[in-house]
């Protein structure tokens, strides 16, 4: 509502100029600037929107591949070979309380926690992402995303913004580790079939 009032006030300011019963090109340009400022996108926002549209089909294909990969896994065999070892070495996700095998059956994967920071340049060049610390905590990818969405709804700056000094907190590990990023793991071949698609 405040933004709308500011736009109306800007139009009155432009129209309040001495128009001398005619509208010249400068006045038309000023009115267009006021009218379209609300819908004009900055370079970064425009790039993000274009990427989201382009990635929609890509994600749909990945979901289909993920379904196919899960159907090919013999979970009885994987459970016999890996469940005890994974429960001992990795444990369960602190948020979902699911084991590695249970996560795989739910089309999810186990990840390791990270503290990350990023500048605005990361939007155009992902290699600009800075991994400040690898944390000794395991968490499932979907649990991290759900926690991130919740924390961002509560505080839009929870991700740390674009300040390299600010790491943000999107999820909390079992030992109260503050996570701002994750990385899917190669634990064994079948797990990687899911993790590489969730990556």
pLDDT score of 48 more than 90: no
Q: Are residues 29 and 79 in the same domain?
A: no
Q: Are residues 76 and 93 in the same domain?
A: yes
Q: Are residues 47 and 109 in the same domain?
A: yes
Confidence of residue 58 (pLDDT cuts 50, 70, 90): confident
Q: Are residues 26 and 105 in the same domain?
A: no
Domain that holds residue 129: 43-198
Confidence of residue 1 (pLDDT cuts 50, 70, 90): low
In this prediction, residues 78-100 reach a mean pLDDT of 92
Residue 125 and residue 142: Cα distance in Å, rounded? Answer: 25
Q: Are residues 166 and 183 in the same domain?
A: yes
Summarised one tens digit per residue, pLDDT across range 92-118 is: 999 999 999 999 999 999 999 999 988
Q: Are residues 8 and 78 in the same domain?
A: no
Give the up-direction half-sphere exposure of residue 36: CA atoms within 13 A in the CB hemisphere. Answer: 9
Which range is most confident: 28-37, 81-90, 114-123?
Answer: 81-90
Q: Are residues 58 and 122 in the same domain?
A: yes
pLDDT score of 35 more than 80: no
Q: Are residues 9 and 103 in the same domain?
A: no
> What is the tally of structural domains in the chain?
2
Q: Are residues 73 and 27 in the same domain?
A: no
pLDDT score of 190 more than 90: yes
Among the residue ranges 18-22, 77-81, 105-109, 136-140, the one predicted with the least confidence is: 18-22
Q: Are residues 73 and 167 in the same domain?
A: yes
| pLDDT on residue 52 | 75
Q: Are residues 82 and 125 in the same domain?
A: yes
The pTM (predicted TM-score) of the whole model is 0.72
Q: Are residues 26 and 104 in the same domain?
A: no
| pLDDT on residue 128 | 87
Q: Cβ neighbours of residue 182 under 8 Å, at least 6 residues apart?
A: 111, 112, 113, 114, 139, 141, 144, 171
């Amino acid at each position: 509502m405040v933004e709308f009032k500011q736009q109306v006030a800007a139009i009155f300011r432009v129209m309040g100029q001495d128009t001398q019963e005619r509208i010249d090109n400068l006045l038309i340009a000023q009115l267009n600037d006021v009218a379209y400022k609300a819908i004009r996108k900055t370079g970064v926002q425009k790039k993000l929107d274009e990427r989201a549209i382009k990635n929609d089909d890509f994600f749909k294909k990945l979901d289909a591949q993920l379904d196919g990969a899960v159907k090919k896994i013999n979970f009885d065999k994987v459970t016999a070979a890996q469940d005890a070892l994974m429960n001992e070495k990795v444990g369960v996700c602190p948020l979902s309380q699911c084991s590695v095998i249970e996560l795989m059956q739910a089309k999810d994967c186990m990840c390791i926690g990270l503290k990350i920071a990023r500048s605005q340049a990361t939007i155009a060049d992902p290699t600009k992402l800075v991994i400040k610390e690898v944390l000794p905590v395991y968490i499932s990818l979907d649990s991290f995303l759900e926690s991130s969405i919740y924390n961002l709804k509560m505080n839009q700056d929870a991700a740390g913004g674009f300040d390299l000094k600010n790491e943000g907190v999107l999820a909390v590990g079992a030992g109260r580790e503050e996570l701002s990023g994750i990385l899917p793991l190669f634990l064994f071949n079948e797990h990687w079939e899911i993790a590489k698609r969730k990556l």
